[in-house]
Amino acid sequence: MNWKLLAKKQLFLHKIMKKTVVSGSKPTVVGRFSRNALRQWAPDELIAFEDDIALEFNSGNIKAPVHLYSGNEKEIIDVFNRVRSEDWVLCSWRSHYQCLLKGVPSEEVKSEIMAGHSITLNFPEYRVLSSAIVTGTLPIAVGLGLGIKRGGGSERVWCFLGDMSSETGAAHECIKYVRNHELPVHFVIEDNGKSVCTDTRAVWATDTLTYEGMRDPFITYYKYDTKYPHAGAGKRVQF
């Protein structure tokens, strides 16, 4: 992994967030963004995009890690039926579907992926931010939500995280803060049963995860099976 590139992308992410002013007396100021209507994607279109990226990766055309979606198309489309163009979408290292569903043109998304930025896709003009650091965007989501509430804004923040990330202390603290302060943040927990190469339930010696099956206005949880491994597309590729 190119750690220098990862650090550079994280610094870029923090610079974006500097545009958001959080103060008890000063309203939140957010960066300019596209108000284009969100395109409706069909499941087979999303699948075709990921399969194309998988082919590019397995052919050795992408010189960096990729994390692909598969099997959750209906669930994530259902989530985005509630997402508006003015809302923020924060993701982890797996964010191709979110970028497309938030309105980023597929050509732009693929271009960034081909350039090696799959795990750190950031399109601030579409209000899409991601980080390859585990739980890296969760405190940012909390800060955005706090700024929106203090500034009297109407935007919402949709923060996507995986099953293992949802079991971390950082996630519990962020979710607790959002709940107790009633911030406009919604956490979407996507459970594919994987944490790199480990089983989340086996790690924590539990049959049921903390937020699994929970009815909570601040959380959407769904479980899905994927045909892809945690990283890559099933073929070992030497960068």
Tell me the DSSP string of 72-107: -HHHHHHHHTT--TTSEEEE-S--HHHHHHTT--HH
- How many Å apart are CA 3 and CA 9, to the nearest integer? 10
- What are the tens digits of pLDDT across the range 81-140? 999 999 999 999 999 999 999 999 999 999 999 999 999 999 999 999 999 999 999 999
* Buried-exposed string 160-182: b where 16+ CB fall within 10 A, e elsewhere: bbbbbbbbeeebeebbebbeeee
Name the H helices within 70-219. 73-80, 96-101, 106-114, 138-150, 169-181, 200-204
- pLDDT single digits (tens) 175-209: 999 999 999 999 999 999 888 878 999 999 999 99
Flag whether pLDDT at 23 surpasses 90: no
The confidence score (pLDDT) of residue 110 equals 98
Q: What is the pTM of this model?
A: 0.84
pLDDT tops 80 at residue 44: yes
pLDDT per residue as tens digits for the range 142-178: 999 999 999 999 999 999 999 999 999 999 999 999 9
Domain extents for the chain?
A: 40-223
Does residue 220 surpass a pLDDT of 80? yes
- For the chain, give me the number of helices (H) and strands (E)? 8, 5
Of the listed ranges 3-17, 66-80, 109-123, the one predicted with least confidence: 3-17
Across 1-10, average pLDDT: 51
The span from the CA of 104 to the CA of 100, in Å, is 5
Topology (CATH level 3) of domain 40-223:
Rossmann fold (3.40.50)
The helix/strand/coil state of 217 is coil
Please tell me the predicted confidence (pLDDT) of residue 196: 82
The pLDDT, as a whole number, for residue 27 is 37
Q: β-pairing, 185-191 with 219-223?
A: parallel
| Confidence band, pLDDT 50/70/90 cuts, at residue 54 | very high
Q: CA-CA distance, 223 to 211, in Å (whole number)?
A: 11
**Per-residue pLDDT band at 8 (split at 50, 70, 90):** low
Euclidean distance between CA atoms 89 and 52, whole angstroms: 24
The percentage of the chain sitting over the pLDDT mark of 70, rounded to a whole number, equals 84
Cα 107 to the center of its chain, rounded Å: 19
- d(CA 177, CA 50) in angstroms, rounded, equals 35
Q: Is the pLDDT of residue 30 over 50?
A: no
